[in-house]
Amino acid sequence: MIIYYNINVNKKIPTGGIELVTKEQVLNALRKVYDPEIGRSIVDLDMVKNIHIEGDKVTIDINLTVKGCPLQDTIKKDAIKEVSKLEGVSEVIVNLGSMTEEERQNLARKLSGGRKPIFENTRVIVVGSGKGGVGKSTVAVNLAVALARLGFKVGLLDADVLGFSVPRLLGIVDERPYALDEHTILPLERFGIKVISMGNFADEDTPLIWRGPLLSGVLDQFFNDVYWGELDYLVLDLPPGTGDIPLTVMQKLPESKFVLVTTPQASASHVAGRIGYMAKKVNLEIIGIVENMSYFECPNCHQRYNIFGEGETEKLAQDLGTEILVKIPITVKVRELSDVGIPPALDDGPEGLPYIELAEKVVEKVRPIK
């Protein structure tokens, strides 16, 4: 005998004394299955369309937010896993479809209706530098990945709209975010973090020749239209210097915390001081300095060479009333991994340890809100 349950049917059909799995049990099991991009249950998102039960066989129809969703295999596998745990179920079949335009618009309205003020309940860690070329974006990306490795829910916002490098550092150059509607953008996900960057909307080699108002408009969209879901930390990668974007970010997010990146070189340290003093003027707390390219250690003789000098970062920390969080050496492997889109923070070896140490110190200084 075939028993068919439509998602809108709430009553249990008698089975002549034989206890079969019910629609309610299947739905409750599917509530544990989350859309990885949105971070909410597929049941709550109205992605489960039909449940068809035939003896010990359960067939489920799930509509994805977009056809060809890159994480569809994860959703399918999780659905099969959770429903298979139910007593009396020996086979689970999941059919994947995609939402209609109307369904996507309804979902966008649902998400927008529950959207909280900008990054409420989220700790924002702003990573900045006085000048380019000091490894600021590398530090921001690896701090985000390291925080995720520590078990936190993390987002990464690339505010360096004109000089973006986050997509290449994460190996997502050719990937594009998906918009449910003009006001609801789903961020990409990579290595356990959610990511948004202008580099995923524009060709990597095409220059963006934009003035300040356009840049601010993009930043407003990243703040207001990206559906981040629940985050513990958002790492924000600033463009270098003390221009419009760094100032706008600092003023929009006065509760954020600032991490300054520099090299030991005197010229870099003095330029870094400018954005440090800018942060102090707008009352943004500087939680510490990352000294990048701190030294080079010969792999054969293990002799250390201070290629860019030493001592300047200590003076800068003293002048700004803060501390050096970590000193990251120059290593060939960090460059090699970064070039192919693999963050060194994923490495349990010496290349990854400084970033884990940095993440631990950030957590120590800036505890999650909940």
Q: Which 8-state DSSP code applies to residue 100?
A: -
Q: Could you write out the DSSP letters of every residue in 280-293?
A: HHTT-EEEEEEEEE
Binding-site sequence positions for ATP: 130-137
What is the rounded CA–CA span in Å between residue 31 and residue 33? 5
What is the rounded CA–CA span in Å between residue 322 and residue 264? 16
What is the rounded CA–CA span in Å between residue 282 and residue 263? 24
What is the gyration radius of the CA atoms in the chain, in angstroms?
Answer: 24
Token look-up 């594009």 returns 176
Residue 162 and residue 241 in contact, taking contact as beta carbons nearer than 8 Å: no
Token look-up 């460059």 returns 335
Q: How many residues does the chain have?
A: 370
Residue 355 and residue 146 in contact, taking contact as beta carbons nearer than 8 Å: yes
Alpha helical stretches, state H, 234-289 = 244-252, 266-281
Binding-site sequence positions: 130-137
